[in-house]
Structure 1
Amino acid sequence: MAKWGPSSRLPSLVSCDSLVVQGLRCEGGAGVLNLVLSLSLSHTSRWTFNMAPHGNELSEDLKKRIVALHKDGLGYKKIAKTLKLSCSTVARSIQRFNRTGSTQNRPRCGRPRKLCARAQRHIQRMALGNRRMSAASIAAEVEGVGGQPVSAQTIRRTLHQIGLQGCRPRRKPLLKMMHKKARKRFAADKQTKDMDFWNHVLWSDETKINLFGSDGVKCVWRQPGEEYKDKCVLPTVKYGGGNVMVWGCMSAAGTGELQFIEGTMNANMYCDILKQSMIPSLWRLGRRAVFQHDNDPKHTSKMTTALLKKLRVKVMDWPSMSPDLNPIEHLWGILKRKVEVRKVSNIHQLRDVIMEEWKRIPVATCEALVNSMPKRVKAVLENNGGHTKY
């Protein structure tokens, strides 16, 4: 229902003579109509029509409390003051209850639901049973069972109502049962370790850094019709534009040595990297230092094992398929984002920028990543050896 705005106050008296002066006539049964039209035309700057505001619908619990207080003998004003509601809202709720005997709203007009509660439960079971099943496939199966045509959008709307959203799946390593058991054993063994232990661990890993573009998913903000604008496309080049492979290490004390890998790395090359880059970084951590690397065949070869034993390096037992337990994985992500911002154009510049940004990484960043190890171990135990958010 429309009401007059605060700036639309009527004049106290408006005579027909004043209307005649303005070129309007007030005669017969149309006098009131002419009066309203004249005021709306001559006072346009002062007349506004505001729609009555609509508040949120009261919950069933609140309606029942209103009725219960009224039955206890409280009046409208006291109920409104107690529940911080308006008197009109309290009155309507009580009057509706006296009329219908219930606090629930009467059935409203509108198109009835196409899917009954049983069909909605069936859709939910299918979506939870096969998380990769598309809405169109679910709609086809529902139509095949019940014979009632259902659109894919109806399926999506139904799944949204029960809290299921279509999302891009996280990319994680394939974990078999033996991997989960090994991860769980590792977490159970390390859950009692304090930060002094983790601060003496030298973390290591290899990664690839692209010259042009990124292996990750990129998003852009664009308007309709801007799909092919230069700022809204991800440029690619033939053969990938080149990349470099690097080996690096880090600890809570900061980044260690960084070594570029030429060609395909084998056990001989890895042993050279350990002697040239790993040992100096490990010595900085003192006699209690522990070296970490994954179970890559080059890392577990007889040659590598013999070298580490000869150098008296204490190596941490590491579960396979566990990049989420290695904090250097997050450090690679930080490094790649910093390198990508620099917009390098060739391999030589890429090498220089990588080394420069690697040395710029603050110690606080490495320390924060290592400090997350107790939480990572706890997450593995809570997920029974499964995937974690790290």
Structure 2
Amino acid sequence: MGKTADLTVVQKMTIDTLHKEGKTQNVIAKEAGCSQSSVSKHINREAKGRKRCGRKKCTSNRDNRTLERIVKQNPFQNVGEIHKDASRTITHRRMQDVGFSCHIPCVKPLLNNRQCQKRLAWAKDKKDWTAAEWSKVILEEARRGTESMLLEVQCKVSTVSDGLGCHVICWSKVNAAVYQDVLEHFVLPAADQLYGDADFIFQQDLAPARSAKATSTWFKDHGIPVLNWPANSPDLNPTENLWGIVKRKMRYARPNNAEELKQCHRLIDSMPRRIAPVIRAKGAPTKY
């Protein structure tokens, strides 16, 4: 018996349609203009599904079960930590085959019940604040530098000033005295530039240098109101997102004007949207 000729697309469609209608293979063969054996092979092939093409899997079922067990035991491992003999790509594919997907874990601060209650009370108190009101708040965000670059007793400071404020880098440990010096020589001039004679509110976290009695006295002496701030609440501070913008947009260039930092304005505008999720979550961490 000779080799059966390949079927055309039209013949395959005809066979599929007539087969669904319950026609016999002989009738289908006549209608499709092919042999009965071609009809039979096509129907059987469609029923079983075509064999997969490509390379044979380099992992066995036992390997896949082992991988599944490892992922279940420690779901926070990344692909690089899991793969051994197989490549990262193969490990990732096998993980997908057994129903796992890779995600970057969302880091949230650990809050106790008292902190959640304070966050909830704070959010309820600020829920009616508008974006215009939040624009009068000077938001402070601190990032720890390296104390190994301490130069004698002084704080080496460099600034980047624009229409949105100032960026101050301190290479020393920031105690209350250093913090007040930064406020005096950088924050006050920036506030004058931004607000002139208009009132503003200063926001700061609860680090020791900021919550020190001497620092509180400094703010009172200068007539600057300080925004009460709940502990462990990075999701309420839009400047946390600013660091991501800085890394992506300003890695190789210094900002020259307010236009280059226009995304900061959108972060300030997000403040009213940050409050509602805190209330819904009853003070627990939010997506921000």
Question: TM-score under structure 1 normalisation?
Answer: 0.47
Task: Find the aligned partners of 1:126 and 1:206 in 2 and give their Cα distance.
Answer: 39
The one of 76, 87, 92 equivalent to 1:132 is 76
The one of 136, 141, 162 equivalent to 1:205 is 141
The one of 43, 47, 67 equivalent to 1:105 is 47
User: How far 1:267 sits from its partner (Å)?
Assistant: 0.6
Alignment CA distance shift 1:374-1:123 (3 Å):
farther
Letter in 2 for 1:268: A
Structure-1 residue corresponding to 2:112:
177
Structure-2 residue corresponding to 1:193:
129
Contact 2:138-2:201 at 8 Å conserved across structures: yes
Task: Find the aligned partners of 1:326 and 1:265 in 2 and give their Cα distance.
Answer: 20
The one of 231, 236, 257 equivalent to 1:360 is 257
Task: Find the aligned partners of 1:260 and 1:294 in 2 and give their Cα distance.
Answer: 17
SS at 1:271 equivalent: helix
Alignment CA distance shift 1:361-1:186 (3 Å):
same
Aligned residues: 248
Contact 1:190-1:377 at 8 Å conserved across structures: yes
Task: Find the aligned partners of 1:249 and 1:315 in 2 and give their Cα distance.
Answer: 22
Q: Is residue 2:269 matched to residue 1:371?
A: yes
Task: Find the aligned partners of 1:267 and 1:136 in 2 and give their Cα distance.
Answer: 43
User: How far 1:274 sits from its partner (Å)?
Assistant: 2.2
Question: TM-score under structure 2 normalisation?
Answer: 0.60
Alignment CA distance shift 1:306-1:335 (3 Å):
same
Alignment CA distance shift 1:340-1:138 (3 Å):
closer
The one of 208, 212, 222 equivalent to 1:297 is 208
User: How far 1:374 sits from its partner (Å)?
Assistant: 2.8
Deviates further, 90-99 or 186-195: 90-99
Alignment CA distance shift 1:246-1:92 (3 Å):
farther
Structure-2 residue corresponding to 1:227:
none
Higher relative contact order (CA 8 A, sep 6+): 2
User: How far 1:134 sits from its partner (Å)?
Assistant: 6.8
User: How far 1:109 sits from its partner (Å)?
Assistant: 5.7
Letter in 2 for 1:278: V
Alignment CA distance shift 1:159-1:197 (3 Å):
same
Letter in 2 for 1:366: C
Structure showing greater radius of gyration is: 1
Contact 2:175-2:208 at 8 Å conserved across structures: no
Contact 1:206-1:248 at 8 Å conserved across structures: no
SS at 2:139 equivalent: strand
Contact 1:282-1:291 at 8 Å conserved across structures: no
Structure-2 residue corresponding to 1:94:
17
Alignment CA distance shift 1:335-1:296 (3 Å):
same
Contact 1:201-1:290 at 8 Å conserved across structures: yes
Task: Find the aligned partners of 2:245 and 2:265 in 1 and give their Cα distance.
Answer: 14
Deviates further, 266-275 or 175-184: 175-184
Contact 2:145-2:170 at 8 Å conserved across structures: no
Q: For the aligned residues, what is the CA RMSD?
A: 5.1
Contact 1:327-1:370 at 8 Å conserved across structures: yes
Letter in 1 for 2:129: K
Q: Is residue 2:273 matched to residue 1:386?
A: no
SS at 1:268 equivalent: helix
Structure-2 residue corresponding to 1:269:
178
Structure-1 residue corresponding to 2:232:
321
Structure 1 stretches lacking a partner, 5+ long: 4-50, 54-85, 140-150, 211-238, 343-356
User: How far 1:300 sits from its partner (Å)?
Assistant: 0.7
Alignment CA distance shift 1:330-1:246 (3 Å):
farther
Alignment CA distance shift 1:129-1:184 (3 Å):
farther
Letter in 1 for 2:174: M
Identity within the alignment, %: 22
Task: Find the aligned partners of 2:137 and 2:120 in 1 and give their Cα distance.
Answer: 20
Task: Find the aligned partners of 1:383 and 1:249 in 2 and give their Cα distance.
Answer: 37
Task: Find the aligned partners of 1:290 and 1:307 in 2 and give their Cα distance.
Answer: 14
User: How far 1:285 sits from its partner (Å)?
Assistant: 6.4
Contact 2:176-2:215 at 8 Å conserved across structures: yes
User: How far 1:278 sits from its partner (Å)?
Assistant: 2.6
Q: Is residue 2:100 matched to residue 1:164?
A: yes
Alignment CA distance shift 1:337-1:285 (3 Å):
farther
Contact 1:255-1:359 at 8 Å conserved across structures: no
Deviations along 1:80-135, one digit per CA (max 9) or x if unpaired, are xxxxxx975653333343289xxx83366679xx76xxx98x98798467422578
Deviations along 1:166-189, one digit per CA (max 9) or x if unpaired, are 35545x464233455544444444
Alignment CA distance shift 1:159-1:316 (3 Å):
same
Task: Find the aligned partners of 2:169 and 2:159 in 1 and give their Cα distance.
Answer: 6
